């Protein structure tokens, strides 16, 4: 997958998932009139849906002309999946780069080929440690660490995602990457299963954490559950499921959307006069005092409309980077 978990085909068995959806996927036979609607939808993805299937269902419900997600979840994983509709897709990168918070369920004593429950069992070893030893092992995974991405991921090698090689039994050498674990909390441990709360930077793979932790403890381990609780400033508590979304009227669904500029609220705001707004909208850079080269800015017209994002160029001018369509 694009972010922390890797992308693979297949779903989790019915008996192993507490949250599954019965929402039907959109049919190509159902012709709909699409509309130019924009916004950010905080979706609570259930197990059994690929992120793309969830995206396509939401796009169909909103009759949106275009849609995209901001980092995917494995089919067995649940939790927060922010989706962008229309013009909001232009700013999805801001969430792809955001920190994330997960609750991870890990099973010790069994190592799998993928690091999670979808893989083949490759080793079984006895589990012989207590909560204190587990806490001690967790310490080495806190802070800035080097992590080798798993083979079952969407990272590219020779133009192909690694998971395609993994499906063929081909192992590709991967370089370790520097990632940050801001917080790693042991919530529970019963001797074979542990629940962890993980707050990490972009590029962190929770499946790799499970596998590495199992090897550090000498027994092997794999991920059996993953719930994404937070992406950047967005929380799972504010998300809505596809099942609930399906039951709403179109007006009620539209009310669930956050405006496109919500993705850029961390950037300094610049309110433009009519002349500057016209210049930006026509691709021209504008000068403002106190700007710093490389700085990103969110821009607004005199009437308060969000215009898009500018980047300060080498001349110290705010140059258009991503603009909202005026059509």
- Distances in Å between the alpha carbon of 54 and those of 24, 59, 259? 10, 9, 20
Q: Please check whether residue 38 is in contact with residue 87, taking contact to mean a CB–CB distance below 8 angstroms.
A: yes
Q: Is 273 a catalytic residue?
A: no
Residue 193 has phi, psi (to 5 degrees) of: -120, 140
The Cα 318–Cα 201 span in angstroms is 29
CA 197 → CA 49, 100, 187, 230, distances in Å? 23, 11, 7, 11
Q: Which residues of 288-300 are buried (b: 16+ CB within 10 A; e: fewer)?
A: eeebeeeebbbbb
Among 74, 211, 212, 261, which one carries the catalytic annotation? 74
| Contact status, residue 206 vs residue 104, Cβ threshold 8 Å | yes
Whether the CB-CB separation of 221 and 106 falls below 8 Å is answered with yes
* Helix ranges, 113-221 (H): 131-138, 162-167, 206-216
Please report which residue ranges of the chain form alpha helices under DSSP H: 51-62, 93-96, 131-138, 162-167, 206-216, 242-247, 250-255, 274-281
**Strand stretches in 158-237, DSSP E:** 160-161, 177-189, 193-200, 221-231, 234-235
Decide if 32 contacts 64 (C-beta within 8 A).
no
Active site residues: 74
């Amino acid at each position: 997958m694009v972010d922390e978990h890797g992308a693979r085909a297949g779903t989790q068995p019915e008996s192993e998932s507490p949250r599954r959806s019965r929402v039907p996927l959109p049919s190509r036979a159902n012709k709909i009139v699409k509309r130019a609607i924009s916004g950010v939808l905080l979706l609570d993805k259930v197990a059994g849906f690929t992120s793309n299937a969830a995206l396509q269902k939401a796009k169909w419900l909103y009759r949106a002309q275009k849609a995209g997600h901001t980092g995917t979840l494995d089919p067995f994983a649940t939790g927060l999946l922010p989706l962008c509709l229309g013009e909001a897709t232009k700013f999805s990168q801001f969430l792809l780069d955001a920190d994330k918070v997960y609750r991870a369920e890990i099973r010790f004593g069994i190592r799998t080929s993928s690091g999670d429950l979808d893989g083949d069992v490759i080793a079984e070893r006895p589990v012989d440690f207590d909560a204190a030893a587990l806490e001690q092992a967790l310490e080495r995974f806190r802070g800035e660490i080097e992590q080798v991405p798993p083979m079952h991921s969407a990272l590219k090698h020779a133009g192909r995602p690694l998971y395609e090689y993994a499906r063929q039994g081909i192992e590709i050498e991967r370089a370790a990457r520097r990632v940050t674990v801001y917080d790693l909390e042991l919530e529970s441990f019963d001797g074979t299963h542990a629940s962890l709360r993980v707050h990490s930077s972009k590029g962190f793979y929770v499946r790799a954490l499970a596998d590495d932790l199992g090897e550090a403890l000498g027994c092997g381990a794999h991920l059996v559950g993953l719930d994404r609780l937070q992406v950047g400033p967005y929380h799972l508590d504010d998300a809505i499921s596809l099942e609930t979304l399906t039951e709403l009227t179109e007006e009620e669904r539209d009310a669930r959307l956050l405006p496109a500029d919500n993705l850029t609220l961390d950037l300094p705001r610049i309110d433009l006069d009519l002349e500057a707004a016209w210049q930006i909208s026509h691709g021209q850079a504008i000068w403002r005092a106190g700007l710093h080269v490389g700085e990103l800015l969110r821009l607004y017209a005199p009437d308060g409309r969000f215009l898009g994002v500018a980047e300060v160029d080498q001349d110290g001018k705010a140059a258009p980077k991503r603009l909202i369509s005026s059509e």
